[in-house]
Structure 1
């Protein structure tokens, strides 16, 4: 007779294609993993893996079993969590896929309140590409995703979480740092460090400039980097100037760079939460979503206060809180 533990072992082996890696993931011994797989193969009367030296691959039977096993394991976990919730004990594992840099700095504040209230929940925040986060959500691997881009999907419910300022940062010794504000056309003279064109930050800057009749292609780009932290450090090293999340600027390089306003240009990046509309929600997922979307949540108020754009225009803008 099948049991959910055997199927969990199969999933770990199928996802890693390595029995030793699966054993480490499950905190088991490698021989125990091998035995569980053997028992499943005997049960189904079909080999599930092709073993070629140290390499593993799924057989046709293994490929067929994979989505079925995933559904059964998820159903088993959901049953445990729902029945536990009947005893007013929300527990289980909450997995959040985060595809936006600001989300990495916002989520811990929210998670602190959540885990303090629900002490029997274990949480994982995985930072990945937007497409991967969406795939995980659709497959039921992750229960919630955080993204800076609203990507319509019929099966996913999106909720606007917060709006965060995107600011222009310059080295502390840059002439703009003393002035605190520049004209829009002055951007043409700067060495720009920018995000890749598929990023949410790039889209915010591109659209904000376009509203002012400014083509982002007119900027003198000297360097393209894949995340806001890298831009912050590149600005700190004097390579150029760049637009990044204000939260990243404050958390990472607040003492080494200055934020400068661009006249007429106010940039904000919306951060969204997403969850699947049709897959069953776990009690931990429901509880987290409730805290995250509650306008009276203490954690949300702290986040919103921290993300309020300062009114003082000078080189200390980043250090204000």
Structure 2
């Protein structure tokens, strides 16, 4: 059995497709299929089935996956440790980030990090929090930066920053010159929300529910993009409560106005999440030290 067969098996499982694994590996589909068949011959069992044209991992494949992933990762780590000891290594780092952090905070952080550590090759993937944590669990990424709830107790979870949620309105709104409003006044406005599964929305809804005004607010529009929500507010379609880091530029340029809500301060934590490993890649260690 070859290590490359295990590596390819993990890639096919992660991508859910032989064709996608072949594309990422710069191989033909028959070459990938041949590696999978070699592995199946070694274990004397099928690792994948096809149902209605879709690839499905068999029970044997599910049992093999965590062991194969650990073997491949340990080999990669051993190679990096030896290269590091001889001074002949190129470090790399794969960071997964949730949407708000990945789009608004991480680019500037990575820019500063690269100035300090130009030898580290950084790859960034941006997904919603559950999918980022799934990638971390499956060793697709080295570490995660998320704002959502982290329920997996096997992860190392550390706060690396916080972000305030603020009320914003158009620059010509009647509230534009007010420093703050009473929470009850929100009932007279049209609210523009993120989608229902958004972590930001859940935080805001819980706050409004606690103050007895959630049911009084007109949910005028639901949009799955923060950038689109900002554009809608700028156009006068309504108001919204958004993370400060996502509207900093619009506030500076005067396209949006911030209005405080009396006696209410909504702050959420931003989390650095890692797996507890015996050996950490040097890129991971350097980036964690940078954030801390």
> 1:230 matched to which residue of 2?
228
- Aligned pair in 2 of structure 1 residues 209, 52: CA closer, same or farther (>3 Å)? closer
- Aligned pair in 2 of structure 1 residues 41, 210: CA closer, same or farther (>3 Å)? closer
User: Any stretches of 5+ residues in structure 1 without a counterpart?
Assistant: 294-321
- Aligned pair in 2 of structure 1 residues 262, 51: CA closer, same or farther (>3 Å)? closer
- Aligned pair in 2 of structure 1 residues 91, 214: CA closer, same or farther (>3 Å)? farther
> 1:241 matched to which residue of 2?
239
For each residue in 1:84-116, what CA deviation from the matched residue of structure 2 results, as whole angstroms up to 9, or x when unmatched?
232456644422222251443111122123334
Per the normalisation by structure 2, the TM-score is 0.84
CA distance in 1 between counterparts of 2:131 and 2:81 reads 27
CA distance in 2 between counterparts of 1:20 and 1:198 reads 31
> 1:27 matched to which residue of 2?
26
> 1:250 matched to which residue of 2?
248
- Aligned pair in 2 of structure 1 residues 209, 42: CA closer, same or farther (>3 Å)? closer
CA distance in 1 between counterparts of 2:73 and 2:279 reads 9
CA RMSD between the two structures: 3.0
Contact 1:200 1:269 in 2 (8 A): no
Contact 1:90 1:121 in 2 (8 A): no
- Aligned pair in 2 of structure 1 residues 54, 268: CA closer, same or farther (>3 Å)? closer
SS at match of 1:175: coil
- Aligned pair in 2 of structure 1 residues 42, 192: CA closer, same or farther (>3 Å)? same
Q: Does 1:290 align with 2:289?
A: yes
> 1:156 matched to which residue of 2?
155
> 2:136 matched to which residue of 1?
137
> 1:315 matched to which residue of 2?
none
Moved more, 196-205 or 143-152: 196-205
How far apart are residue 49 of structure 1 and its match? Answer: 3.3
How far apart are residue 151 of structure 1 and its match? Answer: 3.2
For each residue in 1:277-318, what CA deviation from the matched residue of structure 2 results, as whole angstroms up to 9, or x when unmatched?
35643221111111011xxxxxxxxxxxxxxxxxxxxxxxxx
State the number of aligned residues.
291
Contact 1:145 1:275 in 2 (8 A): yes
How far apart are residue 176 of structure 1 and its match? Answer: 1.5
Question: Matches of residues 1-321 of structure 1 in structure 2 within 5 Å?
Answer: 1-3=1-3, 5-50=4-49, 55-88=54-87, 91-196=90-195, 198-206=197-205, 213-251=211-249, 254=253, 256-278=255-277, 280-293=279-292
Per the normalisation by structure 1, the TM-score is 0.77
How far apart are residue 190 of structure 1 and its match? Answer: 0.9
Contact 2:187 2:213 in 1 (8 A): no
Moved more, 34-43 or 182-191: 34-43
Contact 1:196 1:226 in 2 (8 A): yes
- Aligned pair in 2 of structure 1 residues 210, 141: CA closer, same or farther (>3 Å)? same
SS at match of 2:70: helix
CA distance in 1 between counterparts of 2:89 and 2:265 reads 42
CA distance in 2 between counterparts of 1:244 and 1:90 reads 42
For each residue in 1:228-283, what CA deviation from the matched residue of structure 2 results, as whole angstroms up to 9, or x when unmatched?
33321221232210011122113468553222233333332321211123564322
Contact 1:114 1:288 in 2 (8 A): yes
CA distance in 2 between counterparts of 1:104 and 1:54 reads 35
